[in-house]
Structure 1
Amino acid sequence: MSRDIIAPPVLAMSHNRRYRVNIVHEVFGGDKWNSSKKSTSGQQKGYEEPDLYAEDDYEDDEEANKIETTADGSFLLNLHVPKSFYGGIIGFKGSTKRRIEEETRVDIYVPRQNENSKDLQIKGKERSQVCAALRKIRLLVQSLRRRMKPTHFLAVALNAGQVQDKFSELKKSILEAQLPGIDEALFISERSIHITLGVYVLLDDAERQKAVEHLQTCKQFLDGLTTPFEMKVKGLEIMNDDPSSTRILYAGVEAPELQKFADKCLGSFQTTGLCATDNNDRESIKLHMTVLNNRYRKKKDEKCANSFDARAILKRFGEHDFGTVQCNAVHLCVLGSSGDSDDFYKITGSLNF
């Protein structure tokens, strides 16, 4: 057995800490990294974390292809990152930024909040070092984005024609029934009814533009599908298993062609790094039209109950038929922008077909 495995090299750190330096397999460029840990003078160099991604892993990387060679032979990358992530990249007293710099042997410059510059700068002596830092920053941004509230969603508008009329009829019938715990504040506005196809965290103009442009590329998924999509909206269901204490009541949507398109869009947007946590963790979109949501009532009265009893609604109106409608566009909308204006959500961009 190799002595490097039985007695691996040890790196002395601050505060009397000592860590084993793992040997990198030759398949991942071990000759380069293992030899770099040894010093001809017998003293070890500072630790540099090996980037196990080969150079060709970055060939199709749009950002990595923007790396420039400077006059002094160094490599420089100007990387756009929304300012909302600056604090997380810097870390407490600069600890996170410093750790990435030490592990990848680069210098990272984060613009100050009042600067006009919108890009981080990553500078290193080798291109592989800049690529390694780029990958670490991306993973960090992805982790930070997962903790943030969604800002936008992809929607199919249903606020017209037969579906809207049938929705209004149902709303009127439920309110006239005067069911316990059910009031108008629970209902979504007739002008805002929709199907959600995806939820995203878009923090600046650049990310919003990127999302709109990516939406246009989704037009390729229409090939082989019949458009406009035919959608049948019928029946009421709840999101949980207890109808006596539920938060969301919705109408089912039957639209096989739209389902295929929505699932392909979901997978495509997952590659952009812009999805909210919920979208990253699913493989398919559940097509539905929200009718009642306790969150709407909470906005107007924070002290109201956290759920409502939907048993009477399901018993009396569970088979309600909203009719059919056609879909010839999907919209990237601002979450929560409908407000009390009874208008549809503010649209950032659309894909028409």
Structure 2
Amino acid sequence: MSATRRESAPLHVAGPSPRAFERPLPWTESIWSHLHAARASGRLAQGLLIFGPNGLGKRVLARALAQSLLCPTPNVQGLACGRCADCRLLAAGSHPDLIAVGPDPESKSGEIPIDAVRQFAERESLTPSRAPYKVALIDPADRLNQAAANALLKTLEEPTEHSLLCLIAERIGRLPATIRSRCLLIQVPIPDEAAALSWLASREPRPDWPLRLRLAHGAPLRALADSADDTWMEQRVQCLRDFLEIARGRADPVAVVGRWNEIDTGRILDWLAGVMVDLLRLGVCATPPRLDHPDRRDELLALAQGLDLAAGHRFLKRILEARALGERNLNQQLLLESLAIDWARITSRHH
């Protein structure tokens, strides 16, 4: 079973890959306006920490800002012109004043090591080569190891003039408080559901966007990326059916987990967490305003009516803990078997 699929991250220390010019997504336009105004008035912080769940457009926002800062002739909205010599270098992925810092692609840990930060610091100490700024995108910043975080702190404390350090993270709690305190925190919000559905429909008309957006926890880019392959939707049906069959006493927990070998473990834990949240919602209100799995409402309502809510809360906590442990490359099959057996015990009085 594979680890949870993540948004793509940059290489160890490198120039940027070739990319199209970015525009901030509709739900980040107010953030963009504030950044543009701060830049225009000379008040743009030199350390930014852009954070929020996967699939909300953090990286789009960060890249648009980097492109804007490196373009000498941005338009009235502050976006890169896309035509000048600097923009041509950006488009080719070879602009000398844009640095990408990320995990070593040869490492299994997925961490950003101290050597990456040291290499970056050496380049960051130089003045801009040709653009108004030198910009570093550190992504994902929440994967800095302790030594790398300490090394980065020194650069954040004394940044060179006309430089910008932009950290991108999904779990800012993993970053030391000393780093967070030296950055301007920019939280990318989950958009209004109607606005997100409108944006998704503009990209590709399909009738199941409402369900897909719920399964993506309201993150439009995640929903859009997931729509490229429907295999996981079929796997979800199997996983949820098996999970409910365990609760009904009709399936062996260990045998069920054996059938999940081809399913991404991160997705399984995500679906199970969503199911438990829905059960807890339905346990206190038969018509909650929101469900993560609205297409399974009737089945979940029937199960919720006899569920011990306190036990359900404890089990949800176990799932969330298992999701965190899953990133540490533990034996994921044993992890899932333990959860499935615990679920059978919790629901044994239903049958």
Q: 1 or 2, which has the higher helix percentage? A: 2
TM-score (norm 1): 0.26
Q: Quick check: which has more Rg, 1 or 2?
A: 1
Q: Which has the higher contact order (CA 8 A, sep 6+)?
A: 2
TM-score (norm 2): 0.26
